[in-house]
Amino acid sequence: MHPRLFVTLTAPSFGPVHRAGDCHPARRRHCQHGGRHGCGLTHSGDEPLIGQPLCADCYDYPGHVLWNATAPALWKAFRDNLYHHVAARAGVGRSKVRTLVRVSAAKVTEYQKRGAIHFHAVVRLDGPDGPASPPPSWATGDLLLETVHSAATAVALPCPDSAAYSGGRLRFGTQLDAHPLTGGDSGRLTDDAVAAYVAKYTSKSVEAAGAVDRRIESLAEIRALRVTAHVRALIATAWRLGGLPELQHLRLRAWAHMLGYRGHCLTKTRAYSTTYGQLRAARADHARALAGARDLYADWDSETVTESAWRFAGTGHTPAEALIAAGIAEDLAANRQAMREEQR
Ligand SMILES: [Zn+2]
Ligand SMILES: [Zn+2]
């Protein structure tokens, strides 16, 4: 039995956003911009308001974009921590642990409605020779669960240094989710479900007609985009930060349309033999999707290969809604511009 978890790692809060179900309770207090603290409404899951900030001026746009830009490094830190934390729990050295157990994973990257990156991953413990070898008896599901929690909580990277923005440490959000994956009909997520999910995801990623499906070339282009005010603010923030010499290494202008995230939504290693094309075909062929399940795991010690075939698809506006949203965005952008000019 190889302990397996389906893990979701999210971003922290950059400011309250409208959420499905009972939104933030209404409060009497107002923020310094005159916005209400809280909302008090109940939203259905498909309302375009979901993911939009309660107050755009309170929202930490630079922090959000820099988090997206740093997300791959946060994932890598989590991944490295896993081995260290398994070693600590097993009471063995960090180099010794890799001769006893292997930590394998496949992950996909998604955007939440608010435009923040989150990761879904399948994490598994194998024996020293990979999937074919049983893990040592101490490498239990409980140990993996504790390890995933402590490894994610321990991640804290310095915010990229900039005169324009001083953020604290970049961490994962506190909403860490980890479910055991079991085979058979236990009602839990199974490998098959994960395979189907990944197949659906990759297929959707290619087919989706994104609101922002290409690189941004100018600020004027950002103003003309048919996206929500929130997405426009994120793209504009990425563009603005991308112009700062100290942040050149993040290539934020090149990745502004991805809200700062550098483009790779499915990470696999060479051992992960299923290609994107095969996964897409698998969506139409459940049997092949199941076959893909065997290839979901990847050994992190191998060289990582990434593929990019995904664009941020906006938040599902109809054209009419998008036009309205764009109108609001124009006002917002104009307000911000006026504020900036006053401050000069
Ligand atoms: Zn709300
Ligand atoms: Zn405010």
Domain boundaries, the chain: 4-17+52-212+263-313
Q: What's the token pair of residue 293?
A: 């399940």
Q: Which residues of 172-202 are buried (b: 16+ CB within 10 A; e: fewer)?
A: bbeeeebeebbeeeeeebbbeebbbbbbebb
Around Cβ 35, how many Cβ atoms within 10 Å? 15
Q: What's the token pair of residue 107?
A: 């992950």
121-to-37, 91, 226, 283 alpha-carbon distances in Å = 34, 26, 32, 19
Question: 52 CA distance to ligand 1 centroid (A)?
Answer: 9
Question: 217 CA distance to ligand 1 centroid (A)?
Answer: 33
Distance CA 176, CA 98 (A): 25
Q: Point out the ligand nearest to the CA of residue 56.
A: 2
pLDDT of residue 280: 41
pLDDT of residue 293: 34
Question: 293 CA distance to ligand 1 centroid (A)?
Answer: 38
Provide the 3-class DSSP secondary structure of residue 108: strand
Question: 175 CA distance to ligand 2 centroid (A)?
Answer: 24
pLDDT of residue 298: 31
Question: 31 CA distance to ligand 2 centroid (A)?
Answer: 5
Around ion ligand 1, residues with a beta carbon closer than 5 Å are: 18, 23, 39, 41
Distance CA 64, CA 238 (A): 9
Around ion ligand 2, residues with a beta carbon closer than 5 Å are: 31, 33, 35, 55, 57-58
* Residue stretches of the chain with pLDDT short of 70: 106, 181-213, 263-344
Question: 213 CA distance to ligand 1 centroid (A)?
Answer: 28
Q: The whole model's pTM is what?
A: 0.73
Half-sphere exposure of 44 (CA within 13 A, CB side): 2
pLDDT of residue 64: 93
